[in-house]
Every structure is written in structure tokens, then in C-alpha cells.
């Protein structure tokens, strides 16, 4: 008899990314969406009808459900801390959409609360869960790249003026935590530091070329020095037409790999492996990817599903999830340093 525990999920916030979480939960056999909270009961009710769950307009009513195990926090970024602290005090595990919070200070409050309440904390970065991303990471770990030389991340996307006007919190320091870098490019920042290791210092410039009505940048460029001695570049924007797939390039003394969204388009090493040809051939096949280039919701729920499955597995095994709070904090700290450098004109230690 199958006695595998069914984990009850609750979703806080009903924005577009909440639908991605709901779809991911539906595709996991030992997961069930119990309920959703929004301050607007009308919005919660629409979500309820769409995803067949209970609707709440009071957060405590959702958190008090005995069958609720895991809370997915899908609100504006600057609201994550308050919700997470309330959920953790109720003994609920938390999966929080990127970024963990808009400052490292707030991130630390959440991390400390998870430890104090003995609950698991995860931060949503689905890019790390795709097989192609992990193939590159594995090659780095076994030394196929030789000494890492340069790691570069490019997120050159397009967002319309309507995108920022649609929700008042977008493009604000308080609730968005920044612009193209904090909201869009943070996925690439996370993967880049995962590949290249800890960042030692940054120097950067930011600007606003298209979306002058928002408080934050729509374009940023940063030069990074990693603790292992390698160098790096981050370029990101929401001002570019027509927009291009997220691209990460990793180059070392013995090899180079380039990935666009989930497609490996370059895979070449000084010492060839028997499987190298298969990697190149498989990635000649076009994949139906958009990656949110010009439409933020043109994304698959697969990465979220893989991450939610990992989170459930961590609970079953009594261990930390693959991307816990401390991992989720790293990209926020790097971005904080980039903003500080742009403001001061100085190189900033991370």
C-alpha cells in the first residue's frame, strides 16, 4: 500500500506567477493545492474557480489550516518577509518566489525565522533544475573547463510601458527592489554565481532608456571579479527591441559552453568526451522556448515542478532543499553591490 504523504500547498498572491505554481502542483502526485489567499477576495475567488481550491481574504485563515504544509509566496517581492514570518510561526514550510526579499537584511530575517521555527525555506530559481543547466555545472565540477576565465550573463529583454503600469508595485524600490536586474536578470545572476563561485567585487553602471516613469533602472551593466580569480560580465535590460533569449557563457582554459534559455548552443572542450557529440547533436533540435523575452508569462511550469518536487523530497529526507534561504540570498547580495557601485561609482566588495 502506498503511504506516501500528500503535501498540502497554499499560495499567497494571485498574480501571474501564482498560476505557474498551481500548474506545477497539479503535476506532482504527492502534492495538493489546498487554498489561496489574496487581500481581494474577488481575485482569490477567480483563482479558486480556475484551480479548484479554497479561497481566503484573511491570511491567518489559510495559515491555520491543519492540512497546509507548504506556503508558496507569490506576492510583490517587498512583501515576502512579513508573510514568511507569519507562516513560519505557524510551523509552515515556505517556498518564496525570487528574490527572497529586496534587501539582504530582510533575507536574513527570513532565514533566521526558518531556523528558529524548524521549517524548510526554499527560493524559486527554476533555471538551476533544467538538465541542460546541470550538465554545465557538472562539467565545471569535474574540471572540464580547466581554470575558469570568464563567466557572462546576458538578459536583454523587452517590456512595454503597459507592463509597468499594470501593477503599481512594479518598478519601485520598496516592492520590486530594483528594475531589470532585480526582477528579470536575477535568474541569470543566480546561475552565473552557481557556475563561477562566489563574487569578490563588482563595478557597474545603470541607466533608464525607455521606462522613465519608473523609479529604478531598466538597464544595467556590471563587471565582476570572482574569488577564484575569474572575471565576469552581466548585461541586462527591459528596454531592448525585440528582446533575446537569456544567454550565459562559461569559458575556461580548457573549454567553453553557451546556453540560451534551456538550449546548449556551444559545447567544446580541448579534451573531448565520448558524450560531447551527443550534446551538440541533441541541441541542434529547435526547442519551443521563449523564456519571457517579451512576454513575462511565456514560460513553462516544468522548472517550478522540478523545484517543488525537490522541496518535497527535502522534507521527506529531513534535509535542506537544493536552493535554501542562504543560496537564495546570494543573488540579492550581488545585486545590492551592483546597485551600490552604480550609485557611488566605486568598486564594491561582495
82-100 pLDDT, tens digit each: 999 999 999 999 999 999 9
The H or E element that residue 17 is part of is helix 16-26
Q: How much is the pLDDT for 283?
A: 58
At 296 the pLDDT is: 66
Give mean pLDDT, residues 307-334: 98
Of the candidates 132, 94, 77, 116, the residue with the CA atom closest to the CA atom of residue 308: 94
173: which residues sit within 8 A by CB, 6+ positions away? 102, 215, 216
Shared fold status for 7-127+301-323 and 128-298+331-349 = no
What per-residue confidence (pLDDT) applies to 299? 76
Q: Check: CATH 3.30.360.10 for 128-298+331-349?
A: yes
d(CA 222, CA 330): 16
| Cα separation, 144 vs 156, whole angstroms | 29
The answer, yes or no, to whether residue 332 has pLDDT greater than 60, is yes
Q: What is the pLDDT of residue 276?
A: 86
Q: What is the CATH number of domain 7-127+301-323?
A: 3.40.50.720
Q: Please tell me the predicted confidence (pLDDT) of residue 184.
A: 97
Distance, in Å, from the CA atom of 32 to the CA atom of 67, rounded to the nearest integer, reads 10
Query: Would you state the pLDDT for residue 3?
Result: 67
* Residue owning grid cell 506556503: 71
Measured distance CA(19)–CA(241) in Å, rounded = 27
Say what the pLDDT of residue 1 is: 45
Q: 40 with 140: CB under 8 angstroms?
A: no
User: Is the Cβ–Cβ distance between 246 and 260 less than 8 Å?
Assistant: yes
Ordered by start, the domain boundaries in the chain are 7-127+301-323, 128-298+331-349
Amino acid at each position: 500500500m502506498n503511504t506516501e504523504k500528500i503535501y498540502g500547498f497554499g499560495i499567497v498572491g494571485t498574480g501571474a506567477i501564482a498560476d505557474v505554481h498551481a500548474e506545477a502542483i497539479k503535476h506532482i502526485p504527492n502534492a495538493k493545492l489546498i487554498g489561496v489567499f489574496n487581500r481581494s477576495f474577488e481575485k482569490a475567488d477567480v483563482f479558486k474557480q480556475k484551480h479548484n481550491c479554497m479561497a481566503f481574504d484573511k491570511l491567518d485563515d489559510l495559515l491555520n489550516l491543519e492540512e497546509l504544509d507548504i506556503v508558496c509566496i507569490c506576492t510583490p517581492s517587498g512583501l515576502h518577509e512579513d508573510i514568511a514570518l507569519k507562516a513560519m510561526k505557524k510551523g509552515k514550510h515556505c517556498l518564496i518566489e525570487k528574490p527572497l526579499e529586496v534587501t539582504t537584511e530582510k533575507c536574513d530575517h527570513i532565514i533566521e525565522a526558518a531556523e528558529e521555527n524548524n521549517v524548510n525555506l526554499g527560493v524559486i530559481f527554476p533555471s538551476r533544475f533544467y538538465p541542460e543547466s546541470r550538465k554545465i555545472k557538472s562539467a565545471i565540477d569535474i574540471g572540464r573547463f580547466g581554470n575558469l576565465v570568464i563567466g557572462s550573463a546576458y538578459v536583454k529583454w523587452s517590456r512595454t510601458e503597459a507592463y509597468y503600469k499594470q501593477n503599481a508595485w512594479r518598478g519601485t524600490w520598496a516592492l520590486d527592489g530594483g528594475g531589470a536586474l532585480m526582477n528579470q536578470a536575477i535568474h541569470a545572476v543566480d546561475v552565473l554565481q552557481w557556475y563561477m563561485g562566489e563574487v569578490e567585487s563588482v563595478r557597474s553602471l545603470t541607466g533608464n532608456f525607455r521606462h522613465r516613469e519608473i523609479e529604478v533602472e531598466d538597464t544595467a551593466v556590471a563587471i565582476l571579479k570572482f574569488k577564484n580569480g575569474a572575471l565576469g560580465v552581466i548585461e541586462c535590460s527591459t528596454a531592448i527591441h525585440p528582446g533575446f533569449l537569456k544567454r550565459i557563457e562559461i569559458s575556461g582554459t580548457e573549454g567553453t559552453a553557451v546556453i540560451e534559455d534551456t538550449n546548449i548552443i556551444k559545447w567544446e572542450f580541448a579534451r573531448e568526451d565520448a558524450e560531447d557529440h551527443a550534446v551538440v547533436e541533441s541541441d541542434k533540435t529547435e526547442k519551443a522556448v521563449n523564456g519571457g523575452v517579451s512576454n513575462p508569462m511565456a514560460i513553462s511550469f516544468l522548472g517550478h515542478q522540478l523545484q517543488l518536487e525537490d522541496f518535497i523530497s527535502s522534507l521527506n529526507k529531513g534535509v535542506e532543499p537544493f536552493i535554501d534561504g542562504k543560496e537564495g540570498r546570494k543573488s540579492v547580495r550581488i545585486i545590492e553591490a551592483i546597485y551600490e557601485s552604480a550609485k557611488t561609482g566605486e568598486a564594491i566588495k561582495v
